[in-house]
């Protein structure tokens, strides 16, 4: 079967491509792109005027909750939400129950994703057994089972010697290491950003300093071991001078942020709104501005969703008992598109942050429009406005502060290998 | 006024209205038979998920003087031990015909949480380290009664400011009425620099002092607080003896404050820690007046929230 996409805006960061043109797909593989491809007879034609055509997005930070918390999300529902969000490769965090700290769990995730998933799943395994920060997991065996990276997710490896050992050992297997930087001694019991909101709500604070201390230590370890560390979901402006310093020093690192950190402020948690309870917490207006500037500068070069489904059982409860996290897969693209509207990023740069850079960090071939690669193509209307209703959300959980809010930018079609999905 | 959740959401006018009403109602307390039929037939549920002596008895007394019926619910001996959620408990009590909820809870924001899902008046009787609005209102009432004004006063609050819901509510309440508030105590029990701005309603009307004397000098009112050690999670202070020595209020401090300045405490008091036992004899110590005014103020609040429904 041949598919010809005509007259779309083709954006492929792997070849610095941003033109209006045509893309031809045959038997689930990219044939190539041209400014104009003649229409032959046996071809399925897709007119794409006014649409952006991109390789599938790669989300480096997703919680699929499977195994163990399938009432919140499972691999099927999570990958369906990904498909609707244009995310065709999902790197899933290991804080499942049990955590992904053994080849058995990694195998389970890969097998279930192959059988019941809608898009490709790339499991991230734990750095330490049971995320306890005490003993290293078996990096070699985990990699052989299909783990693409290592992270203890929300539990920062507190012990510096252990983290240093992890970086050295990860180098043996060429496994990327992702760090959620948080000095837990400063955030124990913390609920919201330190500042106006912690004062107003009386809640225990999560100071930006906890993130800063985590970032500095991990940068120093990356320098010492000469092995890159990927800094997950940077949220506070106080971190940024240290990232600039690290770039100047030539320290190997990459940094990521999420749409909520450049879209929302701590004001969202006013009146104890559990849907806006997330870790790291939503910060102030100055932080939102600074994160955007960091994206513009390129010291933060990845946007992930940190998709974190929780059901009403975890969210329609007392604020201090509510779980941290919000959905992200279906809002990743529309919210990131605001950066283009605000002229912070060009469309090509945005695609780099959502596709190419996460692929590089995970050391996988990025989805692209190069000839002969598997077709992973999304067609997006950057202008369409719509209300994010519960019905549109494909996750099992509906925990997002964007629920019933207007979004702009919608994934209309996905072509994944030989399948076309009209969304 | 639909609920009483915190001081922040009260206007100065609403506070003045409650003060006036409470002052009028106080007369009932001195009658030979202190009982009026105003709230006859109303059912008030008192939900106490945390230990309380004064506040619980004070609300119960206020409700009974107004002839309302009460259901008292404490965390022990009820279905929460069977795993029932707070929201379910409250919905059941609503089905039993409750007209108003009074709730004390160890978690911040629980009264606000209930207010989202329950369409009945809710009174916050203390939520975690967040707010204790009825205590702030009875403190205002006591000061107004004793000093005749609530404006242009210097209020010094000494102790565990960070974990004290009374402090948080008093800081806002006294400033709203036109006074200034100075707080002091061990540095790690004071508001963080990033939090100060929230507590300062006007320029210079709120000050965090690391030096006790700065806070106490020329104060019109001194409010001593208990160390909220049950909310610390671990031992934060090196010792209570040292606390008493450097931050406890003692007769020697009386020279720093204004003559006739009031000494207050929301209770329960740990004599020998935040207050020297000698201070019980200080003539302007009004700790039990606070308790008495608490009943009148809570009567006023119950009336305002239940009248016209």
Phi-psi group of A201: left, alpha or beta (phi > 0 → left; psi -120 to 50 → alpha; rest → beta): alpha
pLDDT (0 to 100) of residue A212: 98
Mean pLDDT, rounded, for A224-248: 98
Residues of A in contact with B130 (CB under 8 A): 201-203
A89 Cβ neighbours under 8 A, 6+ residues apart:
A56, A57, A58, A59, A119, A120, A121, A122, A359, A364, A367, A376
Per-residue confidence (pLDDT) for residue B73, from 0 to 100: 85
Same fold, B12-131+291-306 and B133-286: yes
A255-282 pLDDT, tens digit per residue, is 999 999 999 999 999 999 999 999 999 9
| Cβ atoms of residues B136 and B128 within 8 Å | no
To the nearest whole percent, how much of chain A has pLDDT over 90? 99
Percentage of the residues of chain A whose pLDDT score is greater than 70: 100
Domain locations in chain B?
Answer: 12-131+291-306, 133-286
CATH C-level class of B12-131+291-306:
alpha beta
Quick check: A203 and B112 CB within 8 A? no
- Relative to beta strand B69-74, strand B43-48 is parallel
**CB A245, CB A262: distance < 8 Å:** no
Mean pLDDT of the region A2-25: 97
Residues paired with B285 in a beta bridge: B263
- What residue of B is the nearest CA neighbor of A201? B130
Q: For A210-220, b where at least 16 C-beta lie within 10 A, e where not — what string? A: bbbbbbbbbbe
Across the interface, whether the CB atoms of B107 and A207 are under 8 A apart is answered: no
C-beta atoms of B168 and A188 within 8 A: no
| Helix, strand, coil share of chain A (percent; to 5) | 35, 25, 40
Averaged pLDDT in 10-residue chunks for chain B of 309 residues: 96 97 97 96 96 93 97 72 81 96 96 96 97 98 98 98 97 98 97 94 97 98 94 89 96 97 96 96 97 98 85
How many Cα atoms within 13 Å fall on the side-chain side of residue B103? 28
| Extended beta strands in chain B, E state | 43-48, 69-74, 100-105, 122-127, 154-158, 180-184, 206-209, 221-224, 262-264
| Calpha distance A112→A125 (Å, rounded) | 16
C-beta atoms of B109 and A319 within 8 A: yes
What pLDDT, in 10s, does the model give residues B252-290?
A: 999 999 999 999 999 999 999 999 999 999 999 999 999
Amino acid B53: pLDDT = 86
Q: Is B49 on the interface with A (CB under 8 A)?
A: no
Q: What is the pLDDT of residues A33-58, one digit of tens each?
A: 999 999 988 899 999 999 999 999 99
| Among B109, B194, B233, beta carbon nearest to A201 | B109
- Helix, strand, coil shares, percent, chain B, to 5: 45, 15, 40
Burial degree of A280 (CB within 10 A; 0-12, 13-18, 19+): buried
pLDDT of residue B5: 98
- B113: closest CA of chain A, how far (Å): 6
The class level of CATH for B133-286 reads: alpha beta
pLDDT tier at A64, thresholds 50, 70, 90: very high
A113-149 per-position pLDDT tens digit: 999 999 999 999 999 999 999 999 999 999 999 999 9
DSSP strand pairing (A419-422 vs A406-416): antiparallel
Alpha-carbon distance B5 to nearest alpha carbon in chain A (angstroms)? 11
Question: For residue B309, what pLDDT is reported?
Answer: 40
ipTM: 0.89
Closest CA to B122 of B4, B298, B299: B4
pLDDT digits (tens, 9 = 90+) for A198-217: 999 999 999 999 999 999 99
The region that residue B32 occupies, defined by phi over 0 for left and psi between -120 and 50 for alpha, beta otherwise, is alpha
Continuous H helices in A226-305: 240-249, 259-263, 285-297
Active-site residue flag, A306 = yes
CA dist A81 and A408 (Å) reads 17
Q: Beta-carbon neighbour count of residue B89 at 10 Å?
A: 17
B195 vs A: CB within 8 A: yes
CB contact under 8 Å between B130 and A207, yes or no, is no
For A160, what's the count of Cα atoms within 13 Å in the CB-facing half-sphere?
13
pLDDT number for residue A137: 98
* Structural domains in chain A plus CATH codes: 2-53+372-422 (2.30.40.10), 56-362 (3.20.20.140)
- Does the pLDDT value for residue A68 go beyond 70? yes
Mutate: best of B7, B107, B126, B208, partner A, most A CBs <10 A: B107
pLDDT in tens, A377-408: 999 999 999 999 999 999 999 999 999 999 99
Q: Which two tokens stand for residue B231?
A: 């909310």
């Amino acid at each position: 079967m041949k598919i010809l996409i005509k007259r779309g805006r083709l954006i492929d960061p792997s070849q610095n491509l941003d033109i209006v043109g045509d893309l031809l797909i045959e038997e689930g593989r990219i044939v190539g792109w041209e400014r104009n491809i003649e229409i032959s007879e046996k071809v399925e034609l897709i007119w794409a005027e006014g649409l952006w055509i991109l390789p599938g997005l790669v989300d480096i930070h997703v919680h699929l909750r499977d195994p163990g918390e399938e009432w919140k999300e499972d691999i099927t529902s999570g990958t369906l939400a990904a498909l609707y969000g244009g995310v065709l490769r999902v790197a899933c965090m290991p804080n499942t129950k049990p955590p992904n700290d053994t080849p058995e769990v990694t195998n389970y995730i890969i097998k279930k994703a192959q059988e019941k998933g809608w898009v490709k799943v790339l499991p991230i395994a734990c750095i330490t057994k049971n995320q306890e920060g005490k003993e290293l997991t078996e990096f070699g065996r985990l990699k052989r089972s299909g783990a693409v990276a290592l992270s203890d997710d929300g539990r920062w490896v507190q012990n510096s010697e252990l983290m240093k050992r992890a970086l050295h050992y990860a180098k043996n297997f060429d496994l990327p290491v992702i760090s959620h930087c948080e000095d837990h001694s400063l955030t124990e019991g913390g609920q919201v950003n330190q500042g106006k909101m912690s004062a107003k709500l009386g809640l225990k604070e999560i100071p930006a300093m906890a993130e800063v201390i985590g970032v500095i230590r991990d940068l120093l370890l990356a320098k010492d071991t000469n092995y890159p560390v990927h800094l997950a979901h940077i949220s506070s402006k106080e971190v940024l001078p240290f990232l600039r310093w690290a770039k100047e020093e030539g320290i190997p690192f990459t940094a990521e942020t999420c749409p909520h950190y450049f879209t929302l402020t701590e004001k969202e948690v006013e009146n104890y709104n559990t849907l806006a309870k997330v870790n790291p917490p939503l910060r102030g207006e100055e932080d939102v501005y600074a994160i955007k500037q960091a994206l513009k500068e390129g010291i933060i070069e990845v946007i992930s969703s940190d998709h974190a489904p929780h059901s009403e059982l975890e969210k329609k409860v007392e604020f201090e008992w509510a779980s941290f996290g919000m959905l992200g897969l279906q809002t990743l693209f529309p919210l990131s598109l605001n950066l283009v509207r605000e002229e912070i990023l060009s469309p090509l740069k945005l695609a780099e942050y959502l596709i190419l850079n996460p692929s590089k960090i995970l050391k996988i071939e990025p989805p692209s429009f190069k000839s002969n690669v598997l077709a992973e193509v999304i067609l997006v209307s950057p202008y369409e406005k719509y209300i994010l209703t519960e019905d549109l959300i494909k996750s099992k959980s509906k925990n997002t502060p964007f629920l019933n809010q207007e979004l702009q930018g919608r994934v209309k079609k996905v072509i994944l290998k030989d399948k076309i999905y009209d969304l | 006024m639909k609920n009483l959740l915190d001081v922040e959401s009260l206007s100065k006018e609403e506070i003045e209205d409650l003060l006036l009403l409470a002052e009028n109602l106080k007369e009932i307390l001195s009658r030979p038979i202190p009982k009026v039929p105003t709230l006859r037939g109303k059912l008030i549920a008192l939900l106490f998920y945390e230990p309380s002596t004064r506040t619980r008895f004070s609300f119960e007394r206020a409700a009974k003087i107004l002839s309302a019926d009460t259901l008292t619910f404490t965390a022990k001996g009820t279905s929460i031990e069977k795993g029932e959620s707070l929201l379910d408990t409250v919905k059941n009590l609503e089905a039993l015909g409750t007209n108003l909820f009074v709730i004390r809870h160890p978690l911040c924001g629980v009264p606000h949480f209930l207010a989202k899902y329950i369409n009945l008046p809710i009174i916050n009787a203390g939520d975690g380290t967040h707010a204790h609005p009825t205590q702030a209102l009875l403190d205002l009432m006591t000061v107004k009664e004793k000093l005749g004004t609530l404006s242009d006063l210097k209020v010094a609050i000494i102790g565990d400011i960070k974990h004290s819901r009374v402090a948080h509510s008093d800081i806002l309440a006294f400033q709203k009425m036109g006074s200034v508030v100075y707080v002091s105590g061990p540095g790690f029990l004071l508001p963080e620099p990033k939090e100060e701005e929230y507590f300062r309603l006007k320029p210079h009307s709120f000050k965090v002092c690391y030096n006790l004397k700065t806070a106490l000098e020329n104060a019109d009112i001194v409010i001593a607080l208990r160390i909220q050690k049950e909310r610390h999670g671990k031992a934060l202070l090196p010792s209570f003896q040292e606390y008493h020595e450097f931050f406890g209020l003692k007769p020697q401090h009386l020279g720093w404050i204004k003559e006739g300045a009031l000494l207050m405490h929301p209770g329960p008091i740990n004599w020998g820690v935040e207050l020297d036992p000698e201070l019980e004899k200080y003539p302007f110590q009004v700790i039990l007046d606070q308790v008495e005014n608490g009943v009148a103020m809570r009567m006023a609040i119950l009336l305002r929230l239940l009248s016209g429904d």
